[in-house]
Amino acid sequence: MTPPRGLPAFRLQPEVVRLRARHYLSTEPRPFLRWAGSKRARLQSLLSTLPGKFNTYREPFLGGASLFFLLQPRKAVLSDASGELIESFLAVRDNVSAVLRYLGPLRPRKSIYYRVRNARSSGRFQRAAEFIFLNKELLDGLYRVNSDGAFNVPFGRPKTDFIVSESNLRACSKALGPQGVKLATCDFADALDGAQGGDLVYLDPPYVTGHRNNGFIDYNETLFSWDDQERLAKLALRLARKGVYVVVTNANHPRVRDLYPRFRSKVFQRSSTLASDVDKRCVVSEVILYSP
């Protein structure tokens, strides 16, 4: 998956993006979805690890796309293993007015939530609107499906009626719209196939840190297996040797850091809101690993 060549390298405007990062909640475009593990609160820390210019931006664990919307690169390969997530991004890109039209009648009410959750539509723009609605009203921003692939997260009892900002959704559509931005549902290795020296790769694999360093591998196995962590690290090291700029965010755990020899690192703390168990809502330690 390679966007059209010929566009000049994308140059960061440090003061502009730092200002946007400091005022992200009032900046457009910004994520239109809630996604567990979002890095929007740590964008300023991420910015200090990025190169001053790069060619294609690649993000194979897209989630809410905080960093992409902050940078707004002209050439990008955006992907995720969640087909419904990517289909929603595609729908917003292709016809944001239709998505907004279907969002209009939806209200954050328990009865509406379960009606929509239990009887999803087949039309792509209506289904995307439903996905955005469910995402905003679900518990803890945690997208989860059962063994049959059915979305099964309970209603989250939101405190306001707000679902989505029309102006922000339109800004997101515009950012996703250039010909050089590609979206795909695939494994991260497929998404990174074709990455070349001078590209920027941001890797934010699924993980949780509520284990407090005990049983790290077992705790995360259902989200992203240790074999996948090792496979990802090997690929990241190969890309770095090719001259690709690689930035990884992960749990600040010795086993994780050992996977990235010679990568530089920055540790940061954040408040975890992933679990409904309040005992796991604590300050957790994460790490940014980035190639020399």
The CATH number assigned to the domain holding 129 equals 1.10.1020.10
The model's pLDDT over 50-106, given as tens digits with 9 standing for 90+, comes to 999 999 999 999 999 999 999 999 999 999 999 999 999 999 999 999 999 999 999
Residue 31 lies in a domain: yes
DSSP 45: H
* Domain count within the chain: 2
Shared-domain flag, residues 78 and 214: yes
Shared-domain flag, residues 278 and 183: yes
Shared-domain flag, residues 130 and 271: no
Contact predicate 46/288, CB 8 Å: yes
CA angle in degrees (0–180, nearest 5) for 228-230-236:
100
Q: Of 167, 199, 220, which closes a domain?
A: 167
Tokens of 140: 């803890």
Shared-domain flag, residues 148 and 26: no
Shared-domain flag, residues 195 and 281: yes
Contact predicate 80/131, CB 8 Å: no
What residue numbers bound the domain in which 112 lies?
86-167
Residue 5 lies in a domain: no
Shared-domain flag, residues 151 and 136: yes
The model's pLDDT over 15-57, given as tens digits with 9 standing for 90+, comes to 999 999 999 889 999 999 988 766 777 898 999 999 999 999 9
CATH of the domain at 70: 3.40.50.150
Query: How would you classify the pairing of strands 200-203 and 245-251?
Result: parallel
Shared-domain flag, residues 90 and 79: no
* pTM recorded for the entire structure: 0.90
Query: How would you classify the pairing of strands 245-251 and 264-271?
Result: unpaired
Would the pLDDT of 1 be above 80? no
Q: Of 105, 140, 167, which closes a domain?
A: 167
